[in-house]
Amino acid sequence: MRPLDEGKQTDFDQCKAEKSELKDRRQGRALLNAVWLTMRHYPLNDAFYEELPADLRPHYEAREKQ
């Protein structure tokens, strides 16, 4: 079997990446919803947003638009 070219993304890799992004979005929303529903003593305000890791900020922004 011939090895794959280094750095070349296959259809499988692209599909896997898309599924991973979808999973990450779902987990991000689930985390923010859990905080909002069960930890009301933590306000989801600007201070909360500033403390979020960069990966979670898009989920927070999407939630704020709802």
Q: Note the pLDDT tens digit of each residue in 5-59.
A: 566 678 888 888 888 888 988 888 888 888 888 988 878 888 988 998 888 888 7
Q: CA 58 to CA 16: how far, in whole Å?
A: 21
**Tell me, what's the pLDDT at 50?**
92
**Tell me, what's the pLDDT at 5?**
58
Domain count along the chain: 1
Confirm whether 1 is domain-assigned. Answer: no
Task: Kindly give the interhelix angle for 57-65 and 11-38, rounded to the nearest 10 degrees.
Answer: 60
| pLDDT higher at 17 or 3 | 17
Confirm whether 48 is domain-assigned. Answer: yes
Q: CA 8 to CA 44: how far, in whole Å?
A: 41
Both tokens assigned to 31:
């985390």
**Tell me, what's the pLDDT at 28?**
80
**Tell me, what's the pLDDT at 6?**
62
Confirm whether 38 is domain-assigned. Answer: yes
